[in-house]
Amino acid sequence: MQRHHTRTGFERPHWTRRRFFQLTGAGVCGAFLAQRYAGAAPAASSGGVPKNTARNVVFILLAGGPSQVDTFDFKMTDGVTPTAFAPESINGVLWPTGIMPMLADRLPNIAIVRSMRAHALVHSLAQTWVQIGRNPVSGTGGIAPHIGSVVAIEKDPERKDGEKFPTFLALNSDAADGSGYLAAKYGPFKIVGNRAGLANASHPAGEARFQRRLSLMRALDDQLGAAPAAIDDYRDFYTAAQGLTYDAAVDQAFTFAAGDSARYGSSSLGDACLTAYQVLAAQQGTRFVQITSNDGWDMHQSIYASGPTGLPSRAAVLDLALSALLDDLKSSGLFADTMVVMLGEFGRTVGPLTTSQGRDHYAQQFAVFAGGGVKGGTVIGATNASGSDVTEFGWSRNRYVYVEDIEATIYSAMGIDWTYVRTDDPLHRGFEYTPFSEEDLYGPVHELWG
């Protein structure tokens, strides 16, 4: 298999060389450096048996790290948590109905992992870790593709003639990680979801002139003969881009009415969720969609403020957007085939607020799943009264759930063997889809299926 250009860790979109060397010495939790595998029984990998219950994935990254004890692992702290959060017990789940009332009604369709821990507490490091499913400063971190890129290359043989949409779509995710050492065509197609639809899908000079220019460019390129892999990547890009021009299916999937946007909350996150739904409903080849919620979850100050930057306002945006997405997936019949996965890069401190009336970075966090065969109403793990640590892990490996386990869970749902090792990596060491497969250190949270 042809090898492709390798990028180092500090060539990632939100990294610098200086930041790389800072992070090799700081920012990694003690849980990653010692005893994080307690309860795991090392064994030789014999190949995973995937669940294969999902056709699509919607991966929502809550950038900044939301407070777990104010949302999906709610804890009512006397004298701290606003009474307006109005917690109620719904099917055994304590839920802040005052700030997320719509999701309260959809809890029977949602599964929550509460025994999850982050490896690192630095935004850039942890966000990359979440997307590539391994330590970005590890031996293979610099070449590692995004989880969505692995899905894209695995599902590429399933693409049908006439399917024009990218296999991996990234919405509001300009800093999303790319295809690593894999070909660029498996990387994310990055756009911002908006009512106007896909930009530059037509040429100012008209379709006929556009086609003539494209044919001329190809004729000139063909005279160059064999080209490096990077040039092949550009050719693949031009071919894919051409397929998105002058196409009614593209217009229908990427544009939407003001009324539909309002149903999703008339927000950037809502428009991205609406676009994700329409793209999947078009069934034009997209199998993995990342949505980044850049809604200000990094709340070091004034977390309970009543203005647009406070948690109540941010939670309302999420409440509307995610609820509408789940509703549309269910009403269209796509819910059973589409796994929705949502998490931040880490959580936030618990108990009393800081002197700035906020919550700082913390390793304890949550992950949310829905659809794709996942059993709704499931809660994996339990935490203590403050939410600072886990009291029950709630799954077979009897330890914290890490992002590598979330990665393996996605692969399993999509019918991909998470223990698979590619032999085409430029380091000639073998690239494991989920790291440390031979030692069986990570694996899917199959308890989500009930």
211 or 391, greater pLDDT: 391
User: What does the pLDDT read at residue 21?
Assistant: 46
> Per-residue pLDDT averaged across 195-218, rounded?
73
Model confidence at 98: pLDDT above 60: yes
Q: What is the mean pLDDT of residues 254-283?
A: 97
Q: Alpha helix locations (H) across 190-310?
A: 207-222, 229-243, 248-254, 258-263, 268-282
Task: Using the predicted structure, report yes or no on whether residue 13 has a pLDDT greater than 70.
Answer: no
Residue 281 has pLDDT above 90, yes or no: yes
Which tokens sit at 237?
């890009």
pLDDT band at 4 (very low <50, low <70, confident <90, very high): very low
The whole-angstrom separation of Cα 62 and Cα 58 is 13
Q: Percent of the chain scored above 70 by pLDDT?
A: 84
Q: Contact 167/186 with Cβ under 8 angstroms? A: yes
Instruction: Give the pLDDT score at 351.
Output: 98
Measured CA angle at 138 (ends 234, 18), to 5 deg: 75
Exposure string (b/e) for 27-54, b if CB count within 10 Å is 16 or more? bbbebbeeebbeebeeeebeebebbebb
Per the CB < 8 A criterion, the answer to whether 65 and 347 are in contact is yes
- Give mean pLDDT, residues 422-439: 95
How much is the pLDDT for 94? 97
Q: Where are the alpha helices (DSSP H) in 133-195?
A: 147-155
- Secondary structure (3-state) at 291: strand
Query: For the chain, what is the mean pLDDT?
Result: 88
Q: Which amino acid is at 146?
A: H
Are 281 and 49 in contact by the 8 Å Cβ rule? The answer is no
Q: Please tell me the predicted confidence (pLDDT) of residue 205.
A: 67
| pLDDT band at residue 23 under the 50/70/90 scheme | very low
The pLDDT of residue 53 is: 98
Tell me the average pLDDT across 425-446.
Answer: 96
**Cβ-contact 321, 340 below 8 angstroms:** no
Query: Using CA atoms, how far apart are residues 254 and 251, in angstroms rounded to an integer?
Result: 6
Q: CB-based burial of residue 163 (10 Å sphere; 0-12 exposed, 13-18 middle, 19+ buried)?
A: middle
Closest CA to 187 of 247, 242, 251, 230: 230
Say what the pLDDT of residue 223 is: 74
**Digit-coded pLDDT (tens) for 40-93:** 333 334 589 999 999 999 999 999 999 999 999 999 999 999 999 999 999 999
Per-residue pLDDT for 10 more than 90?
A: no
Average pLDDT of span 183-203: 85
- Average confidence (pLDDT) over 105-116: 98
The 10s digit of each residue's pLDDT in 304-346 is 999 999 999 999 999 999 999 999 999 999 999 999 999 999 9
Q: Residue 14: what pLDDT?
A: 52
Mean pLDDT in residue range 423-449: 96
Interval 282-287 mean pLDDT? 97
pLDDT tens, position by position, 123-177: 999 999 999 999 999 999 999 999 999 999 999 999 999 999 999 999 999 999 9
Measured over the CA atoms of residue 198, residue 203, residue 209 and residue 213, the dihedral's sign is negative
Residue 248 has pLDDT above 50, yes or no: yes
What are the backbone dihedrals phi and psi of residue 25, each rounded to the nearest 5 degrees, phi first? -115, -5
Query: What per-residue confidence (pLDDT) applies to 236?
Result: 73
Q: Which CATH superfamily is domain 52-197+246-449 in?
A: Alkaline Phosphatase, subunit A (3.40.720.10)
The residue extents of the domains of the chain are 52-197+246-449
Q: In terms of Cα–Cα distance, which of 449, 438, 445 is closest to 45? A: 438
Q: How confident is the model at residue 250 (pLDDT cuts 50, 70, 90)?
A: confident
Q: Please tell me which residue, 140 or 5, carries the higher pLDDT value.
A: 140
pLDDT band at residue 202 under the 50/70/90 scheme: low
The greatest distance separating any two alpha carbons of the chain, rounded to the nearest whole angstrom, comes to 74
Question: Confidence band (pLDDT; 50, 70, 90) for 35?
Answer: very low
Q: Residue type at 400?
A: Y
- For the entire predicted model, the pTM comes to 0.88
Q: How confident is the model at residue 213 (pLDDT cuts 50, 70, 90)?
A: confident
